[in-house]
Chain A
């Protein structure tokens, strides 16, 4: 049982490049979400999904796309990277009726 996995752990992009942050969970959790963590800003919700085929926006969705084609995977796509997207990105998952969210180890992204 690997829990929530995220790849890559570190990434450096140039402004304008696109990339996908991967997130997978093997616990059959219905709910998955993406957060970004910035110094002095706490964690902010980017996008979330309550099940395969269903996604919705969080607090800070601009510049990011998500899809949920399977229960296990919830990739986050940066369409055209900007320096303001430099952050640590966390993926989390939980059962629909559970209070506990399980977090992945995070991806540290730097946009130059």
Chain B
């Protein structure tokens, strides 16, 4: 069965420093996608970044990058130059992507709470 593990319930980082949020996954499928979402205290879920299992390069979106290590089944989120507005919950999620299928079902981790200190 698919599973997402986020081992860090809470993290602290100083403003302007980089931080890595861990995510490991378990799947027997060869084709899958990995996602990171941000949930600020206001409650909405915000899509940050996506990595496909066949993508050769690590995904990047502005200050966000995904450190994808397929053999270790890890998909860590790296936030560079942290800002106060980065304080939020961060969720890692995975989706199987069967060939020809239309699977949009995401399996979610329990999240990591990030606090950025001034």
Contacts and interface: CB of A to CB of B under 8 A. Distances in A.
| Listed residue (A40, A44, A101, A105) with the most chain B CB atoms within 10 angstroms of its CB | A101
B45 A92 contact: yes
Given A41-B110, A42-B110, A33 B104 contact: yes
Contact of A43 (B33, B102, B108): B108
A contact face: mostly helix, strand, loop, or mixed? strand
Contacts of B111: 42
Interface string B19-63: 000000000000001010000000111110010100000000000
Given A41-B110, A43-B91, A103 B45 contact: yes
A96 interface: yes
Q: How large is the interface on A (under 10, 10 to 19, 20 to 34, 35 or more residues)?
A: 20 to 34
A61 interface: no
Q: How large is the interface on B (under 10, 10 to 19, 20 to 34, 35 or more residues)?
A: 20 to 34
A42 B106 CA distance: 11
Contacts, number: 48
Contacts of A92: 45
Interface string A25-54: 000000101000000111111001010000
Given A88-B43, A99-B33, A105-B43, A42 B104 contact: no
Contacts of B35: 99
A63 to B, nearest CB: 19
A42 B91 contact: yes
For the complex of A and B, 7 pairs with smallest distance between CB atoms: A103-B45, A99-B50, A42-B108, A43-B108, A100-B47, A42-B110, A31-B104
